[in-house]
Amino acid sequence: MKAIVVHEFGGPEVLHFEEIATPAPSAGQVLVRINAAGVNPYDTYMRAGTYAIKPTLPYIPGSDGGGVVESAGKGVEKFVPGDRVYVGRTISGAYAQFAVALESQVHPLPTNVSFAQAAGVWVPYGTAYHGLRQCGGARPGDTVLIHGASGGVGIAAVQIARASGLTVIGTAGTEKGRELVLREGAHHVFDHTRPGYLEQIMDATSGKGITVILEMLANVNLGHDLKLLALNGRVVVIGSRGDVTISPRDLMTRRGSIRAFTLWAITEAEEKEIHAAVFAGLENGTLRPIVGKQLPLAEAARAHKEILEPGAFGKIVLLP
Ligand code: NAP
């Protein structure tokens, strides 16, 4: 099969497009023909060797993909060849024509969702759901700020929040991104590159502040977020690319809190809840993964450069 293989940590140039042996599923495992693989920012940190999780070299990147079950190992009960599925983590890596995964990492895909969309399900929707509901505790009637709403996680959060009865405020750095955020369900959208936008956000809440902030770039925004919180408000740190200074008094006066997580560390029960909620949302059309760009698998290096550039528009996916 064709696959992207990383033999040493480094820049995007270490992503090699190679012909390697197709893996075979052992007992309890499923072999999935990957029709589309999702590109997430963490794929780039892992490739660079700077991420908390360092895979054993050589490795095939990618945890997200959409495709069809090719074969199933002994003891697999839920899947048969031909089933449409999405994967949320794999054993062998998703940037490939085939991937082996544990049965528990494979999930049924509703027929109204394309394979390219399926590649944008696990990390974006899992993170958005966990951040908003399980970690942030957002409830219908609350106001949420999705600080960085135009990318994979942001668009997922906008859709989940809107379908859950929240007042949704999003931010994006381009006109195209802001149009997308509004189209996907935000009540208000602001430009996070423009001076004065934080005051505009506060005005949009009539001065009451925000109940839950989902923060995609905490090293830039965390200190400002605290000043936007309503009484008992929470900032959920999802993304951060450096250090930041905050004024704890901003939290004290608002009885506020900062929460944070990585999707790798959620519990089995939380993961089960996420897949059930996401399947229902995909099936009833309230969750609609947005594929902004599709590139051939061989262009994985380009995808790794572009995912870190400003001007996000949903997901970048690779087609094996
Ligand atoms: P993405 O698709 O690349 O989107 C990045 C988002 O950040 C875009 O909406 C971008 O907006 C926005 N952004 C850029 N500058 C910003 C600023 N100054 N203030 C607020 N937002 C800004 O990435 P993603 O998949 O959505 O992931 C977002 C972040 O969360 C990444 O850092 C990722 O590593 C992290 N993450 C963490 C977990 C976890 O388990 N904790 C899981 C998934 C992702 P414009 O491009 O429109 O400016």
Share of the chain above pLDDT 90, in %: 100
Tokens 């929470």 belong to residue? 234
21, 115 Cβ separation under 8 angstroms: no
The stretch 209-228 carries a mean pLDDT of 98
**What is the pLDDT averaged over residues 53-65?**
97
Residues 111-153 pLDDT 10s: 999 999 999 999 999 999 999 999 999 999 999 999 999 999 9
Q: Residue 74 has what pLDDT?
A: 98
237 lines ligand 1 (CB under 6 A): no
* Cα–Cα dist 275/85, whole Å: 12
Quote the CA–CA distance of 42 and 239 in Å, as a whole number: 10
Closest protein CA for atom 13 of ligand 1: 148
Asked if 235 and 229 touch (Cβ cutoff 8 Å), the reply is: yes
Q: What is the mean pLDDT of residues 173-179?
A: 98
Q: How far is the CA of 127 from the centre of ligand 1 (A)?
A: 11
Q: Decide: 311 in ligand 1 pocket, CB within 6 A.
A: yes
| Percentage of residues of the chain with pLDDT beyond 70 | 100
Q: Each residue of 9-19: pLDDT tens digit?
A: 999 999 999 99
Residues near 64 by beta carbon (within 8 Å), at least 6 away in sequence: 37, 38, 40, 86, 87, 88, 94, 119, 120, 121, 122, 123
User: Which is the closest atom of ligand 1 to the Cα of 312?
Assistant: 46
pLDDT at residue 201 in the model = 98
- Over residues 280-308, the pLDDT tens digits come to 999 999 999 999 999 999 999 999 999 99
Is the CB of 262 inside a 6 Å radius of any atom of ligand 1?
A: yes
Beta strand 2-6 pairing with 15-19: antiparallel
Give the separation between CA 266 and CA 279, rounded to whole angstroms. 18
